[in-house]
Amino acid sequence: MSDATLHAHTLDPDSFAVQIADSIESFIVATTEVAKGDEPDSAVPFLLLEVSQLLLAGGRLGAHEDIVPDERYEPDAGPDMDVDELRERFATMLDPVDVFSEVFDPYEPRKAPVPFRISDNLAAIIMDLRHGLAHYRAGRTTEALWWWQFSYFSNWGPMASATLRALQSLVSHVRLDQPLEELDGLDTDEDLAEDALAEEAGRVMAREIAGPLGIHPAP
């Protein structure tokens, strides 16, 4: 989308709404390009950068006062775009390291790690962001901000935070030349306890994933 279209709502380019929308569209465009697989050697570092930048926009939304939509009921934003193809492309690209474990809520005591997929998270995040972007493009700026803020707390924010941790951990394992615990083969639909995760974990040396994913061990 061109700048003329993005800023068609006579908003100040320096306004909060325009800055958030620009950050969100930039993330969607950049990660969609990564999913094409044209530059697999830089995929993981680039995703690490893009998710980090998205979470800055999320942090701004989270720190902002509650945004109240103009209408009581959410206007129809049209059908959500299908992200299955995007998810599959990410899954293929990240196959050796797509599955990771995460504690869903760090404030719930004694919760076992749960398996997630980076590809699932990225696709779900993009779907949430696109939904708000449809409102923004239709001129419903407050509705878009409300949706992005609400879904930051309820869905895409936690997913992005978990994904960032997984990507950062992956890069760290390789750059520090530390073996990586493999979670490949976990069924993300299963409710697995910590012991089951440990049984599934194998040993994968960093050299097996460093080159194809564009990350390099420390000298």
84 and 169 in contact (C-beta within 8 Å)?
Answer: no
Structure confidence by residue, pLDDT tens digits, 152-205: 999 999 999 999 999 999 888 777 776 665 544 445 455 544 444 433 333 333
The tens place of each residue's pLDDT in the chain, 219 residues long, gives 333 333 344 456 569 999 999 999 999 999 999 999 888 778 999 999 999 999 999 999 999 999 988 777 787 777 677 899 999 999 999 988 899 888 877 888 777 788 899 999 999 999 999 999 999 999 999 999 999 999 999 999 999 999 999 999 988 877 777 666 554 444 545 554 444 443 333 333 334 445 555 555 544
The model carries a pTM of: 0.76
